[in-house]
Structure 1
Amino acid sequence: MDIGPVFSAAADTLRAIPRSELLMAAVAAMVIGWIGALVAKRTALGGILKTASSVALGAILLTVVLQLSRFDPRFDVAVPQIGLPEQVVAGGETRIPISPDGHYWVRAQVNGVPGNFMIDTGATLTAISEPLAERAGLEPRRGGIPIMLGTANGTVQAYVSTVESLTFGNINASGTDAAVAANFGDFNVIGMNVLARLGSWRVEEGTLILVPKAADRID
């Protein structure tokens, strides 16, 4: 069995710890728990430390679950108090003709900053290149977890950011989760976390037609 990918994934996770408040908090909680276990038989402080460690790890696990659940539009989790705003897609019908390369491309605005995006129904998350993210003022989500994404060039590590406004055609998406990584080059993707929040989308004679939900349309 080739264990190379296992070691590579473990190394990526270790390198991500200093850049993730959540991972650092998890490591700190585990260390406190170990200390508590060592001194539990000699002092009541040990029990307090063990309890505090368990509570902290439980809160961290809940935060991770909430963040991961947002990748699936069926759950639509929103907890603004911890930086997880509601993801809303509204506007009017937008028609996108197929490009000569066989893909659907749009000129979008990320927090008012323009960039070219490919519409990709096979992408779970919207993905934004690091140069565009920097110009749009996107920052890693506080307490966010690093994620691994499969790309044409292999698996890359990315961070998740919140896009206040992603506008293309007649559609505006707000509170959108987006993956940002240097390895994307200058490639940007609008994924299913945006498309699945539409009322419908279909292809007619080579044209992609995006239609917001009736309650969210702006006619």
Structure 2
Amino acid sequence: MNSGPSQDALFYALCLILPLSALVARRLPIRQVAKMAIAWIAIFALALLLATQRHRVAAAWSSLHEAVFGTNSRVSGRTMRIPMAEDGHFWADVSINGATRRMLIDSGATTTAISASTAAAAGIAVDERGFPEVISTANGAIAALPGVAAQVTIGGITARDLPVIVSPAFGDTNVLGMNFLSQLKAWRVEGRDLVLIPVAG
């Protein structure tokens, strides 16, 4: 059963009230209580921000790490054009380690996301004992595990060692995200075509 916004708010309020009530019960000077209360509120707010925006924080950290230390992933190939589908999105046949799947190209997705069946077909191993990444989708928050695709090919463009996230909750949907697009020399929409230009294009 999914909890509603009011239930979530009540839970968070109780989590905050408990340490604050403990401070009041100690009968400390009001100024000291106020300082400690502000500190607890700040800690709680930071923890709540990290919990609700974990995927964005992880993406920002990944981008910073790549900027400082570089990345093993690389994209090369020839420029290609992808026509817009009838649903208004851009879809393309993509080969992941030799397994071909029709994928949605989504600039709103931080990381390339694939289904568990696609990962299995592509031979991508994930650490099921690892801590899952919680991401927000149109259907709510879901847990996904990280993996790496040795080779992702779309048309004449190939990305190597591309990080992906894997979850059974994706169903049959596979998404090529910004961690692929951001490594291109350029990408843009021209009329009803999506143009992908690799660094070596």
Q: TM-score, normalised by structure 2?
A: 0.67
Indicate yes or no: 2:8 matched with 1:3: yes
| Map 1:49-68 → 2, pairs under 5 A | none
SS in structure 1 of the partner of residue 180 of structure 2: helix
SS in structure 1 of the partner of residue 179 of structure 2: helix
**1:97 alignment partner, one of 75, 83, 98:** 83
Q: Deviations over 1:97-133 (max 9, x none)?
A: 0000000000000100110100000000000011111
Indicate yes or no: 2:109 matched with 1:123: yes
Matched to 1:3, the amino acid is: D
Bigger drift between 156-165 and 136-145 goes to 136-145
| Map 1:10-89 → 2, pairs under 5 A | 69-70=61-62, 75=67, 77=69, 86-89=72-75
Matched to 2:7, the amino acid is: D
**1:157 alignment partner, one of 119, 143, 159:** 143
Alignment check: 8 A CA contact 2:76 2:198 kept: yes
Indicate yes or no: 2:98 matched with 1:112: yes
SS in structure 2 of the partner of residue 3 of structure 1: helix
TM-superposed deviation, 1:169? 1.0
Matched to 1:96, the amino acid is: I
Which residue number in structure 1 is paired with residue 164 of structure 2? 178
TM-superposed deviation, 1:156? 0.4
Alignment check: 8 A CA contact 1:71 1:125 kept: no
Which residue number in structure 2 is paired with residue 39 of structure 1? none
- State the 4+ residue runs in structure 1 displaced beyond 2 angstroms: 1-7, 65-78, 141-145
SS in structure 2 of the partner of residue 101 of structure 1: coil
Which residue number in structure 1 is paired with residue 186 of structure 2? 200
Matched to 1:137, the amino acid is: G
Q: Cα gap change, 1:98/1:68 in structure 2, threshold over 3 Å: closer, same or farther?
A: same
Structure-2 separation of matches of 1:148 and 1:67: 12
Q: Deviations over 1:150-206 (max 9, x none)?
A: 112111000000000000111101110001000000000000000001010111111
- Flag structure 1 segments of 5+ consecutive residues without an equivalent: 8-64, 79-84
Matched to 2:81, the amino acid is: R
Matched to 2:140, the amino acid is: G
Alignment check: 8 A CA contact 1:69 1:75 kept: no
> Which protein is bigger by CA-based radius of gyration?
2
Matched to 1:170, the amino acid is: G
Q: CA RMSD in A?
A: 2.8
Q: Identity over the aligned pairs, expressed in percent?
A: 35
Matched to 1:116, the amino acid is: R
Q: Cα gap change, 1:186/1:142 in structure 2, threshold over 3 Å: closer, same or farther?
A: closer
Matched to 2:169, the amino acid is: N
Structure-2 separation of matches of 1:117 and 1:166: 11
TM-superposed deviation, 1:75? 2.2
- Flag structure 2 segments of 5+ consecutive residues without an equivalent: 1-5, 13-56
Alignment check: 8 A CA contact 1:73 1:196 kept: no
